[in-house]
Structure 1
Amino acid sequence: MKPFLFKLFTSILIICTVGGAFAQDFQGKAYYQSKTTMDMSRFTGNRQFTPDQIKRFQERMKSFLEKQYTLVFNKEESIYKEEERIEAPNSGRGWGGFSSGLSGGPKYKNVKTKELLQDQEFFGKQFLIKDELEPLAWKMGSETKQIGQYACFKATAIIPDTSFDWGSRSRRNDEEKDESKEAEEEKTIEVVAWYTPQVPINQGPDNYWGLPGLILEVSAGRTTILCTKIVMNPKEKEEIKKPEKGEEVTQEEYTIITTEKMEEMREMRGRRQGNGRRN
């Protein structure tokens, strides 16, 4: 028997064995860690920085680029939220302070009603992002790997790249704006996900879902999210509560609001730097 077929057969047996536990009212909790890498050249441009300066900059960005999350789920609903942590003194300066203005709240998904809700704070203003949970066009692969005690299968999808590229925008001149924006609208990224049929629910971290098993690892662009621990049927269950506070907007409306604010900040920064050079 081929390795892929053997692993698939083994996973089906496991599902049949544990199926009774999932047929009842159950709850699980998965712990994730996310890490984003940064293209330093987009921030440094033609300026020269010493290795020590780059290291200090990366340390300041660590709270922005490395985060811990939990996903509490049942057969239909989930709530995904960032774990609170104590920041080191002065970590709120510079980009650390910038990231605090973009803090995301709990994200609620209901795979039965296709409901997506997120409590999102943006520079002191509270928003409630309310949208339909869009399906991803997953392509199922034959590759497998082990994540902890779980046998995982690979799936891929292509999605629009909606990330805000602060570095490239800060270097863009006015003549290039229209052309660059048009190019950005067409940008896409590949999502690579690893899911386990041993936890037969179609949930996952962040906006990812729709596979025949819990997604334990997902990579998109420069960000990777990895599950480090799963607790099934904890003695003390957590309430999966829908976010309710904030100005209600769609994801598209929220993206427009934040993009315009970022552009405004970029232009203000450019004017300050220009005034400084004249002085």
Structure 2
Amino acid sequence: MRKMILLLSLVPGLLVGSSIMAQKFEGVASYKSSMNIESINVAGRNMSPEMQESVRKQLMQQSQRDFTLTFNLQEATWKEEAELDPVTNPSSNGGFQITLRTGNSKSYINPSNNEFLEETEIFGKKFLIEDELEPFNWKITKETKKIGDYTVIKAEFQDINETLSMTLDGSEQKTETVMDTTMITAWYTPEIPVSQGPNNTWGLPGLILELKDGNMTYLCTKVELNPSEPVVIEKPDKGKRVTREEANQIRDEKMQEMMKKYDTGEGGETRVIRIGG
């Protein structure tokens, strides 16, 4: 009990005591996302350097999104804040229009019940992914820094996934399965004792304030603990129920269909490239 009191005393405005903590400790955290475009290879047949630079700029602009993590000690929801897609003129971008979509998703996790739900769109159709949580075998380091007023600790996880790689060379489409290794780096603070984080990450002894997942970074810009208005956590419930594996298969099939649809050849027509759902 002594250790718990010491931990709770780090959280401003938090009443000490295990029963009060279970009833009262909740909050809302705001995050902004960004993409490291320098590590992305943008190349293609008949793509000039100007076209490649246009693609990079569009990717960077559309990766800058706002998200909200709503949490208590047991569960959390993660969602993107709605905004209109930017209007672009394809002709001014060398004939390329990049639309980076996250699928308008809203997700829910409950580590104590090993429960994961995600309400998402895959090429215009609504699905409800219902599955177990993916484990994160974090390696906690001794490296620390400050994010705002909080001291954060670095943790790492090497994620190895099987992904579908698709390339289009003229009229020939090539599809192959490859093993993709991604280093996930999290900076968490024990001063906010919840096992939650952005983009459905979890499993660390404190809230994750910064997450680097491959080319994407999520940075917390604001945390509100125990707000005056009660925090409401609602489970997603809309869409056709599928597992994560089934959703990935549907997404891959739709992506192949899309690549065939937008293979316009050399006629000078605009190509629309969609990345993600």
Shorter-normalised TM-score: what interval?
0.7 to 0.9
Alpha-carbon shift at residue 263 of structure 1 (Å): 1.2
CA distance in 1 between partners of 2:39 and 2:15 (Å): 50
Which residue is equivalent to 1:20? Answer: 15
Give matches, 1:200-211, under 5 Å: 200-211=193-204
Alpha-carbon shift at residue 247 of structure 1 (Å): 0.5
**In the alignment, is residue 195 of structure 1 matched against residue 188 of structure 2?**
yes
Which residue is equivalent to 2:265? Answer: 273
* CA separation of 1:214 and 1:187: change in aligned 2, threshold 3 A: same
Amino acid of the structure 2 residue aligned with 1:273: G
CA distance in 1 between partners of 2:32 and 2:76 (Å): 17
Deviates more, 1:203-212 or 1:59-68: 59-68
Which residue is equivalent to 1:260? Answer: 253
Which residue is equivalent to 1:230? Answer: 223
Alpha-carbon shift at residue 105 of structure 1 (Å): 1.9
* CA separation of 1:95 and 1:276: change in aligned 2, threshold 3 A: closer
CA distance in 1 between partners of 2:160 and 2:104 (Å): 20
Which residue is equivalent to 2:113? Answer: 113
* CA separation of 1:261 and 1:274: change in aligned 2, threshold 3 A: farther
In the TM superposition, what whole-angstrom CA distance separates every residue of 1:73-103 from its partner, at most 9, and x where no partner exists?
001111100012244444899323xx45x52
CA distance in 1 between partners of 2:56 and 2:149 (Å): 33
CA contact (8 A) 1:202 1:209 kept: yes
CA distance in 1 between partners of 2:24 and 2:97 (Å): 46
Amino acid of the structure 2 residue aligned with 1:257: I
Q: What runs of 5+ residues in structure 2 fail to find an aligned partner?
A: 91-95, 270-277
Alpha-carbon shift at residue 56 of structure 1 (Å): 4.3
- Partner-residue secondary structure (3-state), 2:252: helix
Which residue is equivalent to 1:4? Answer: none
* CA separation of 1:235 and 1:171: change in aligned 2, threshold 3 A: farther
CA distance in 1 between partners of 2:39 and 2:206 (Å): 36
Which residue is equivalent to 1:240? Answer: 233
In the TM superposition, what whole-angstrom CA distance separates every residue of 1:221-269 from its partner, at most 9, and x where no partner exists?
1111111110011111242100111000111110010011111221333
**In the alignment, is residue 122 of structure 1 matched against residue 122 of structure 2?**
yes
CA distance in 2 between partners of 1:74 and 1:176 (Å): 46
CA distance in 1 between partners of 2:173 and 2:118 (Å): 36
* CA separation of 1:91 and 1:176: change in aligned 2, threshold 3 A: closer
Deviates more, 1:23-32 or 1:135-144: 23-32
- Partner-residue secondary structure (3-state), 1:237: coil
- Partner-residue secondary structure (3-state), 1:273: coil
* CA separation of 1:221 and 1:40: change in aligned 2, threshold 3 A: closer
Amino acid of the structure 2 residue aligned with 1:258: R
Which residue is equivalent to 2:32? Answer: 33
Which residue is equivalent to 2:273? Answer: none
CA contact (8 A) 1:60 1:91 kept: no
Amino acid of the structure 2 residue aligned with 1:28: G
> TM-score, with normalisation over the residues of structure 1?
0.79
Deviates more, 1:245-254 or 1:35-44: 35-44
Alpha-carbon shift at residue 114 of structure 1 (Å): 1.2
Alpha-carbon shift at residue 62 of structure 1 (Å): 4.6
Identity, in percent, stands at 35
**In the alignment, is residue 95 of structure 1 matched against residue 101 of structure 2?**
no
- Partner-residue secondary structure (3-state), 1:225: strand
- The number of aligned residues is 255
> TM-score, with normalisation over the residues of structure 2?
0.80
Alpha-carbon shift at residue 137 of structure 1 (Å): 0.6
- Partner-residue secondary structure (3-state), 1:263: helix
Amino acid of the structure 1 residue aligned with 2:77: I
CA distance in 2 between partners of 1:128 and 1:45 (Å): 35
CA contact (8 A) 2:37 2:60 kept: no
In the TM superposition, what whole-angstrom CA distance separates every residue of 1:22-76 from its partner, at most 9, and x where no partner exists?
344222000011112336974433534354x455444544553221100010011
Amino acid of the structure 2 residue aligned with 1:229: K
* CA separation of 1:269 and 1:227: change in aligned 2, threshold 3 A: same
